[in-house]
Each structure stands twice: as structure tokens, then as C-alpha cells.
Amino acid sequence: MATRGKLTVVEGMAISEAIAANWDEIYNFQARPGDVLIATYPKSGTTWMQEIVDLVVHDGDEQICQRGPIFERIPFIEFSHVMKPGMEEINAMPSPRILKTHLPVQLVPPSFWRHKCKVIYVARNAKDTLTSYFHFDKHVGIHPDPEPFEEYVRRFMKGDVGWGSWYDHVKDFWEARDKHNILYTFYEDIKKNPQQEIRKVAKFLGKELSEDVLNKIAKLTTFEVMKTNPMANASGFPKELVAQSEKCFMRKGKVGDWKTLFSAQQLEIFEADYKQQMSNTTLTFSDKI
């Protein structure tokens, strides 16, 4: 990797310098009534939920969902200065828009809360998120080199990776779910029972879809189908940012891939720290891994 971006700190969150440089405009983003926000910690199934939501909103019409790459159909707010669509294009999109963010709940642009926008959150278990993020950071230049893995595990536990602490992110959205209009979903649940989780998303968005349409959406959003769909697999990502997008966005799509990276000793340290960091929440992932 020729160039490597650096992390800095904004409002207590570690974030790439490229995003920090435009922080005021990002935080002051003007959401509109009816906008839907897909919010996640990185590598938690964002792209998957993006495709599900676009298909739900369009009644399972796969042709409409071929109208452009996923990152154009559902723009990424914090990246609007890094790649297209930029802020002007996002502002020009007709309502209702579907948007993506990785920001922690306290840093979501306040206009989303002011307009009581619907927010769909996807949480993924910590070890698989870390594993996916490690592979992503190896191939994408916006963050520092993640090698060696042992050091990456330490940084992840401290929240010294892009978008800060996974622990605070999942816990704070969990606490906020009843205060705001938030649907809290889990990657592992979508994997286990996609129809059921897609039905929840549809209900949350006020869409009544037939069983046939729900089944169709579940099929179109399997890992295998999305991986080969150029409009869903992020293969059109700018090459200067992502040299080999297939290694970043549609890598394995499994639950439990962390087992390929963690040593027994790393696991022990990670689990002890996890217990401590997750001791003050009712949120659990234990039966989902």
C-alpha cells in the first residue's frame, strides 16, 4: 500500500484525518423528514442492510436496484468529501433518501433526531467485526497499517481504530433504541433467519410485502448473490481508495471467521477485556456467535 491515512481524534472518537478535516459539515448534515439512516460500526453488515433496505423500499424490484452502485444509491455521509456522491449531490437527491453512517449515536448529525428519521442499526459480534476490519484495513489506505494482528487487537480493544470504540458504539445505540426511532438488528440473526429479519425491516419502514417478495429479497441478498452483483458488491469503488474491493466488502460473509486469526492467548485476553467493557449493558451477543 503506497499511502496510508492517519487517525486523529474528533469529539473523543478516533477517525481518519480525511473525515476529520470536514467534520463541521458532516455534523451539520441536513437530514429531511422521511430520510432513513442505516447506522453501523464498520464491517457489521452495512452493505448487506443497504441492499436489503433498497429492495424493501422498491418492493423487491431487482431492476430498480440495478440503477447504480450501492454507494451511489445509498450515500455514505462521512465519505461525501472523499468520493462521490458529494454533499451537493446528496443534498440534491429527492426525498425520501436512504443514507449510511458509521458515526456513534452521540455524533449522528442532530437533524436526523430533530426530524425523527427512522434509523436501522446493525450490530455484529466483536470478534468477527474485528476480523473483518483487520482484512479491510489491509487493503484500504484510509487507515494506518493494521499489521501485526496482535497490535490490531490491542488497538480495537482501546477504540484506536476508525470510528472509535466498537463497545461504546453497540452499547450506546442499544441504550438509544427506545429514545429514538431505531430498529436494532444483528448480523448473526439476519444470517440465521433472513426472511424474519427482512420482515422486521419492512414492518419498520411501513411496507407490507408478500411472502413471495420477502423470499425474493432474501435470495437476492444472500452473500453469494450479492458477491456477483456488480451493483451490490462495491466493485466500482474508486481504485485509488480500494485496490481489491472483493477482499474488503464481500470477503467471506460468515459467522465465526475470527477463529482463523485469534490465537488461544489473544482470545483469552480479548474475552477478559470484553467481559469488563460489556459489564454495564443489557446487550448480549453470547448466543449469537
Q: b/e for 31-45, b at 16 or more Cβ within 10 A?
A: beeebbbbbbbbbbb
**Closest distance between ligand PPS and the C-beta of residue 266, in Å?**
18
Active site residue 102: yes
Stretch that binds ligand PPS, among 88-96, 105-113, 127-135, 142-150 (CB under 6 A): 127-135
To ligand PPS, the closest distance from the beta carbon of 263 in angstroms equals 19
With CA atoms as reference, report the closest residue to 230 among 61, 65, 49, 74. 65
Q: Out of 58, 102, 115, 169, pick the active-site residue.
A: 102
The stretch among 197-205, 248-256, 262-270, 277-285 that binds ligand PPS (CB under 6 A) is 248-256
The DSSP output letter for 79 is G
Q: Which cell numbers hold the place of 104? A: 456513534
Number of residues that bind ligand PPS (CB under 6 A): 21
The residue within the footprint of ligand PPS, chosen from 32, 115, 135, 177 (CB under 6 A), is 135
Closest separation between CB of residue 279 and ligand PPS, Å? 26
* DSSP 8-class letter at 186: E
Subset of residues 140 to 169 that bind ligand PPS, contact rule: CB under 6 A: none
- Residue 16 binds ligand PPS, judged by CB under 6 A: no
Neighbour count for residue 28 (Cβ, 10 Å) = 10
CA distance 135 to 152: 11
Query: Which H or E run includes 40?
Result: strand 36-40
Nearest partner of 173 among 129, 132, 123, 99, judged by Cα: 123
- Rounded-to-integer distance, Cα 100 and Cα 47, Å: 9
Pick the stretch among 91-99, 172-180, 218-226, 266-274 that binds ligand PPS (CB under 6 A). Answer: 218-226
- Give the whole-angstrom CA distance, residue 35 versus residue 22: 22
Nearer to ligand PPS, 115 or 149 (CB): 149
- Binding characters for ligand PPS, 27-56, by CB under 6 A (x = yes): -------------x-xxxxxxx--------
Cα separation of 159 and 226, whole Å? Answer: 30
Q: Which residues belong to the active site? A: 102
Contact set with ligand PPS (CB under 6 A): 40, 42-48, 128, 132, 135, 221-223, 226, 249-253, 257
